[in-house]
Amino acid sequence: MALRSKQGTSNLFIYYSMLQKEYLFKELAKGNMIPGLTRSDILSAKILTPPYSEQRAISRLLDLMDSAINQHNLLIAQKELRKKWLMQNLLTGKKRLKGFGGEWKNTTLSKLFERVTRKNTEVNTNVVTISAQRGFVRQTDFFNKSIASEITNNYFLVEKGEFCYNKSYSNGYPWGATKRLNDYDKAVVTTLYICFGIMDETKTNGDFFEQYL
């Protein structure tokens, strides 16, 4: 449906007003058999309209804010690309930091890490899930409820600095995500996760491998 404001009304002001009314449109759409809005739903929506000059001033200010946000997002995207380039070069030894020499050696994760299968015998109640975007998040915060069994004795108990691999697909993480427990001293996770910790912290740096993985 194409809409154009009548004379004496700012198109841009109506646009921002409809964005602000989005919650109302969502509620209207719920009442239909197939979620959607009719022409009358939209045209009957009530919108407060100040004098035309004030409409233009308000919409111009909001438009400037949108432009600033877009510029900010562009800068973030550029910095993310820069970081990705640095990771691809620094974490593979293609580029070296000044002051560092010595040979990079090929090894296997099994020589650096050991599996963690520690059971939750202490009945810790800090049950978490792994979010690809947010890392370790309490289940009650992530799902708005606990989905864990009431008895968590058989769950894994992970300690600060240890890693867990969630093999479930997530947007941007087609092979799953590996995260390091940083925000809690201990956490309880499902046994579906593969958990592991550093064997010798004097030879293996956890911060480095958090970035590497």
Residue corresponding to tokens 């004795």: 153
pTM of the model: 0.67
Is 173 strand, coil or helix? Answer: strand
Q: How far is CA 73 from CA 69, 77, 191, in A?
A: 6, 6, 38
CB 184 within 8 A of CB 171: no
Residue 38 has pLDDT above 70, yes or no: yes
Question: Residue 209 is which amino acid?
Answer: F
For the stretch 126-179, pLDDT in tens is 999 998 888 899 887 766 655 556 678 889 999 999 999 999 888 788 899 999
Q: What is the largest CA-CA distance in the chain?
A: 74
| Residues in a beta bridge with 195 | 164
Residue 120's CB is within 10 A of a number of other CB atoms, namely 21
pLDDT at site 200: 95
